[in-house]
Amino acid sequence: MEWVVNRDAGPRVLDRMLLLSLLVAGTLDTGALPGVTGPYSVGRVTVEWTDRSRMEPLAADHGYRTLVVDIWYPAEATSGAQAPYLDVAAFERAIGAAGMRRQLAPAYDVIIDGRVQTHAVVNAPFARSIGRAPVLIFSPGGGMVREVYAAQLADLASHGYIVAAITHPYDGVVAVYHDGHIVKYDAKRWPQIPSIEGEWNLNQLDWHARDIGFVLDQLLQSNDGLPFARHIDVRHVGAFGHSFGGVASAQACQTDARFSACLNEDGMAAWRPFNVNSGAWRPKQRFMLIFRDVPPGPPPAEFAEQLKLLKRDHEIAMKTVAGGAYEVGLRAAGTSHADFSDLPMLGAMTSTEADARAQVLATIRSLTLAFFEQTLRGRRSAVLEGKSPSEIVQPIHRFN
């Protein structure tokens, strides 16, 4: 890890981070994702929603921006069709087999063979015992797609949450639409940012945050015919995301009072957990940052003073969250930036490696669930009060 680094500078940087953490692994035969831990079965539907307030500049017809969204939700147990993990054929049409291997690294084999189970059933009936459920909106890391976060998304749904996961068109490596057309990542989507470490592309950040708000707009409509219709608890809404998606989720909170809880999973630039200029946090909004800590020991001498200043600015930013903020570090040893996705676990070479990756992913799921349970449902969490779910978790720090 660099001591001064843009933790999400876009797809090319993210690809390198994934490859560094994944290429040491091969693949297991099972391709198994961990089962869900909640009391409910899980359903999933995929929708397309068009935002008629925004033109898509790179679209051939200069049409409106259209998002593809997977919605995971608590469901009745049913024997219906298993929700597919990823549309392999469409992805390979878009970027070829070599491109797929680069993006998925050693997880490629189990995904291409269709061996990954999502633990969700397509269009399953909504759980009858739930009246209304809290809503969460998920934004993936820069260049990433919603499909490769299934372990997190399904688990939250099994605990009674409606979870809408976005692929941001022209930013995710591939977005596949119902009519078969494909939108690929395009480096021309955004103007280049200055070559200074620790900067975000603010245009991209604004568009992703607006995507999150637009999906909430659509969820709050009637949605007749969809399993989750009339089950949304409009008073309890959160956003979360990985890497750049975590920063975009924070900005959604800062600019939209409907969100009351936002979680950033390992998205920082120059040690900042969100864009401090995005807007003011409201008194009832709460924020959590889960991040991979720096390696143990003193930083290189040339970075020591700069790191001290960055950490000071980080603490100042966290204190601006009026409703209170949590911060938890994952120990650097044995974890990677990619562990918030499914890919390291799917790409494990041995059962020992698979167990280690499963422990990291279980820890991330436990922390994420604990935050939303406490902030959206008012259920006090022993995890947030200091009882660590895993030896890789450092003491949780609360601000305000």
**Each residue's pLDDT tens digit, 116-156:** 999 999 999 999 999 999 999 999 999 999 999 999 999 99
Q: Is residue 81 predicted with pLDDT exceeding 60?
A: yes
Check if the beta carbon of residue 97 is closer than 8 Å to that of residue 336: no
pLDDT for position 8 = 36
CA atoms of 145 and 168, how far apart (whole Å):
8
Q: Is residue 252 predicted with pLDDT exceeding 90?
A: yes
Over the stretch 31-51, which tens digit does the pLDDT of each residue have? 589 999 999 999 999 999 999
Of the listed ranges 190-199, 206-215, 336-345, 360-369, the least confidently predicted one is 190-199
pLDDT for position 340 = 97
Over the stretch 277-286, which tens digit does the pLDDT of each residue have? 888 999 999 9
CA atoms of 304 and 275, how far apart (whole Å):
23
pLDDT for position 29 = 43
Over the stretch 359-381, which tens digit does the pLDDT of each residue have? 999 999 999 999 999 999 999 98
Pairing of strands 261-265, 232-242: parallel
Q: Is residue 2 predicted with pLDDT exceeding 90?
A: no
Q: Is residue 12 predicted with pLDDT exceeding 70?
A: no
- Across the range 311-330, mean pLDDT stands at 95
Span between the terminal Cα atoms of the chain, in Å: 30
Mean pLDDT of the chain: 88
Phi, psi of 177 (to 5 degrees): -105, 160
CA atoms of 388 and 330, how far apart (whole Å):
11
**Burial class of residue 378 in the structure, from the number of CB atoms within 10 Å of its CB (0-12 exposed, 13-18 middle, 19+ buried):** exposed
Q: Side chain identity at 228, as an amino acid letter?
A: F
> What's the DSSP call for residue 62?
-
Q: Which residue has the higher pLDDT, 200 or 174?
A: 174
CA atoms of 172 and 350, how far apart (whole Å):
30
CATH of domain 11-399: 3.40.50.1820
Domain boundaries of the chain, sorted by first residue: 11-399
Check if the beta carbon of residue 22 is closer than 8 Å to that of residue 141: no
CA atoms of 136 and 313, how far apart (whole Å):
29
pLDDT for position 307 = 81
> What's the DSSP call for residue 278?
S
Written as six digits, the tokens of 103 are 């993006």
pLDDT category at 197 given cuts 50, 70, 90 is: low
